[in-house]
Structure 1
Amino acid sequence: MSYELKQSASGKFMFNLKAANHQVILTSQLYESKGSAQNGISSVQKHGSDDKNFELKTATSGQPYFNLKASNGQVIGKSEMYNSEAAAKNGIESVKKNCSSTVIKDA
């Protein structure tokens, strides 16, 4: 389990939280600076273990996904699209289990 911090083609920064199997379980928004993205990782570490910070949603395609929100309601990260609500809930459990990782890799 680790965070992968990288710069996008547009020059902005983002991160992925990866589970032990290297699967991406949460993706951040784009940040203007590397420091802001690192603050986003800190926010996931702080908020990712509490059920109340997760919002289960359904895309227009009908596929379930979830958002992780900070205490101020701002979305910190978003999941992939899942095939079932049960799979999305498993994804939430994976974020809760892996969010405390302090391993941050520059990609």
Structure 2
Amino acid sequence: MGYFELKKSGNTLLSQKYFFVLKAANGETIAQSEMYSSKQAALNGIQSVKTNAPTAPVRDNSGF
């Protein structure tokens, strides 16, 4: 089963320090979030993905 990794940026110059990575069961990265200003905001982002994406349709805007 896939999982989320919550991470903190090592770059102290960034005002937004936290982000999450969605990983597949084999450890491969599926997606990486935007940067968040707080740990709680990043956790809220994870919850939003869990809530809104389980049956989200794919909208192909690639033009092909």
TM-score strictly above 0.5? yes
Name the TM-score, length of structure 2 as normaliser: 0.79
The correspondence for 2:34, drawn from 74, 80, 94, is 80
Identity rate, percent: 46
Runs of 4+ in 1 over 6 A off after TM superposition: none
Select the structure with the greater relative contact order (CA < 8 A; seq sep ≥ 6): 1
Q: State the one-letter code of the partner of 1:88.
A: A
The correspondence for 1:96, drawn from 44, 50, 60, is 50
Partners of 1:90 and 1:81 in 2: CA distance:
12
Query: Relative to structure 1, is the Cα distance of residues 89 and 60 closer, same or farther in structure 2, using a 3 angstrom cutoff?
Result: same
Q: Tell me how many residue pairs correspond in the alignment.
A: 57
User: Which runs of 5 or more structure 1 residues have no equivalent in the other structure?
Assistant: 1-45, 48-52
Query: Relative to structure 1, is the Cα distance of residues 102 and 86 closer, same or farther in structure 2, using a 3 angstrom cutoff?
Result: closer
Higher helix proportion: 1
1:106 offset after TM fit, Å? 1.2
Larger of the two Rg values belongs to structure: 2
**Structure 1 partner of 2:10:** 60
Residue 5 of structure 2 aligns to a residue whose secondary structure is strand
Aligned-pair Cα RMSD in Å = 1.6
Name the TM-score, length of structure 1 as normaliser: 0.49
User: Which runs of 5 or more structure 2 residues have no equivalent in the other structure?
Assistant: none
Higher strand proportion: 1
